[in-house]
Amino acid sequence: MTELTSNYRRVNARIEQACQHHSRSINSVKLLAVSKTKPATLIEQAYQLGMRSFGENYVQEGLEKTQALAHLTDIEWHFIGPLQANKTRIVAENFDWLETLDRERIAKRLNEQRPPQLAQLNVLIQVNISQEAQKSGLMPDQVLDFAQSLSQFERLRLRGLMCIAEATTDQKALLAQFQHMQHLFIQLQAQHPQIDTLSMGMSGDLDLAIACGSTEIRIGTDIFGARS
Ligand SMILES: *Cc1c(COP(=O)(O)O)cnc(C)c1O
């Protein structure tokens, strides 16, 4: 068995266990395989094992991989890094999801640049749930208004929320942040019934995230190995 195979099984088992533990169905949680810095050949191996959704953080690198793997037609590319206005076109033309939307100016550009022959671009609003000054994302109390403003952009499809919790092992602090996200998600869903995605939880905190309603876990290192 390759290392990738055993990693994938281990990660799946952890997600499965968390789902059982919190009475969630297994297919209510998607695994996003975070493939930044990893070569297209390794992503293709992951695809052969059954992974379908991949997360990239850098625009140029992501573009190269989407092109190299264009023959995998049911693959799903998520952009999960910070996005500068001058790079929006590459995301609009080559990705299926943007998970880090937090500015109307970016939304406007993506909306104009999304090619008409492609489906709408799926977007998640990034929330700075730990309210750390250096972090990107909207403050929690800005989310509902921002979501409302996105309805003018017909080439974007609002799917939900994303957060990167504080880098801490303090379970109480993490729980408070995840519960806050869950609360926001439920509020948002009351106004936008179509939203279905809460991208929250990474390798160290996936059990807690799944307990709090996460529908997408983002994992890099535990699948593909350490990044150099
Ligand atoms: C890199 C990254 C991950 C995955 O991190 P690992 O520690 O490698 O699992 C998840 N989410 C985001 C937004 C990332 O940038």
For residue 228, pLDDT beyond 90: no
The reply to whether ligand 1 has any atom less than 6 angstroms from the CB of 203 is yes
Is the shortest distance between the CB of 80 and ligand 1 below 6 Å?
Answer: yes
Find the mean pLDDT for residues 64-92. 98
The single-letter code of the amino acid at 66 is: T
Q: Would you say the CB of residue 199 lies under 6 angstroms from ligand 1?
A: no
How does pLDDT run across 95-135, given as a tens digit for each residue?
999 999 999 999 999 999 999 999 999 999 999 999 999 99
Q: What is the dihedral of CA 137, 140, 143, 144, to 10 degrees?
A: 180
**Ligand 1 centroid to residue 152 C-alpha, Å:** 31
Average pLDDT of the chain?
Answer: 97
- Would you say the CB of residue 34 lies under 6 angstroms from ligand 1? yes
Q: Does the CB atom of residue 210 touch ligand 1 within 6 A?
A: no
Q: What is the pLDDT of residues 171-203, one digit of tens each?
A: 999 999 999 999 999 999 999 999 999 999 999
CB 218 less than 6 A from any atom of ligand 1: yes
pLDDT band, very low/low/confident/very high, at 52 (cuts 50, 70, 90): very high
| Distance from residue 100's CA to the centre of ligand 1 (Å) | 13
Statement: the pTM of the whole predicted model exceeds 0.85: yes
